Amino acid sequence: MVDGSDSPSNSNNSSNRESHYEPFEHVAATFYQTGLYNFPKVELHCHLDGCFRLSSVIKLAKKRSIELPTYDIVKLRNYCCLDADEDSSLALFLKKMAVFVSVYQGSREAIRELTLEALEDKAKQGIVYIELRFCPQLLASAPEHPKDMNPCIAEEHPDQLTPSEVMDTVTEAIEEAKTLFPVIKARLILCCIAPMPEISEDVARLAVKYKSKGVVGIDIAGEEDIEDTPAFRPHIRAFQYAKENGLHRTAHAGEAGSASSVIEAKRLLSAERIGHGYHISRDPDVYKKIKTDQTHLECCPISSYRTGAVRVKEQHPIIQFARDKINCSLSTDDPGVMLTTLLDDYKLVADFGVSEKTIKIMNLNAAQSSFLPEDEKKELVSMLKQHYGPLN
């Protein structure tokens, strides 16, 4: 975990870099003047297919003749996960997400627009490094191979797009964004889906195939049931394949599931980071282990309320994490369906009493725990420290 102390910059030391190395931009202060929190930021937990703009959703749905609950943008905003209450649940959230994802499934044009708009929006928030995650199989409309068992593919889908073609579209859009929004660097994490073990090994193979085009890791998302059972073993094999081929691992755990799911994610999936992890606060032994191991927690405060992971009447675990210097950071999760930005999550934790200094340290934690190669990671940390100044 980064402690916020100063260290010399290595951003100009390029003699040993490979030809594909992309240096971080030295961010001009004017580029990220966002009102509050005018400093460069890092985001590790954000779903690409949850980064849509509602105006684009309506436009694309009409163009592709896809049914939405409403085409009125005000009413569609009300359909989104705007509020948190005692009935909030991950299952309800995922049901609403599926409606929006259908607008992008099978369309190169829509997926390209989604990617470019996501990176533009993130750059405007001052985010200089982001790891975007998604499941290519959820956006595909055609099988990858004859034995493809993807349950998301409808037999008569009007557009035919394989998972590899989804990946080509996303990676080409990210390449295009380097010129349009040079301040932000993006890498990709591919998601297995917990209730779809039949696609996990295909996801892992695709992740390895696209390592050279920006895929840095693998994840598992959805309602958690992480255990060594026959039904779950395809996920375990997928993560093992990813590890053997040099990919990093993160896993959604301790969100819908108990604190023990965090330990099982580390044990069975070799997870290096944990998506969410709030429920470790309910188990002192697990909490102590995560703190001792300095396992990074990708926390999404607003999302945690709107998915019911944290109840609205509870004290948010992020308060305890900040107090105990747990290795964690802040992310948005699915800003399109929650109508939020990273700045909103910052404002929420500030309302909890978390200082701007602590938020900056969380950004340093995120940079240090990123899935970048070590030389790029060191440069990112150094660049953040130059902009943050002393944090002692």
Residue 258 CA to residue 275 CA, distance in Å, equals 13
Residue 232 CA to residue 220 CA, distance in Å, equals 11
Determine which one of 255, 264, 298, 379 is catalytic.
255
Give the CA dihedral 328, 330, 331, 333, nearest 10 degrees.
70
d(CA 72, CA 299): 32
How far is the first Cα of the chain from the last one, in angstroms, to the nearest whole number? 15
With tokens 């708009």, the residue in question is 117
Residue 255 is among the residues annotated as catalytic for this protein: yes
Please tell me the distance from the alpha carbon of residue 312 to that of residue 76, in angstroms, as a whole number: 24
Q: How far is CA 245 from CA 180, 236, 373, in A?
A: 32, 14, 15
**Tokens representing 26?**
């030295």
Question: Which residue in this structure is represented by tokens 């004290």?
Answer: 315
∠ CA 201-109-189 to the nearest 5 degrees?
30
Residue whose pair of structure tokens reads 């070799």 in the numeric block: 270
CA distance 104 to 138: 9
The two tokens of residue 311 are 């109840």
Asked if 127 contacts 70 with a C-beta cutoff of 8 angstroms, the reply is no
For residue 181, give every residue at least 6 positions away whose Cβ sits within 8 Å of its Cβ, in sequence order, or none: 119, 120, 123
| Catalytic (active-site) positions | 255
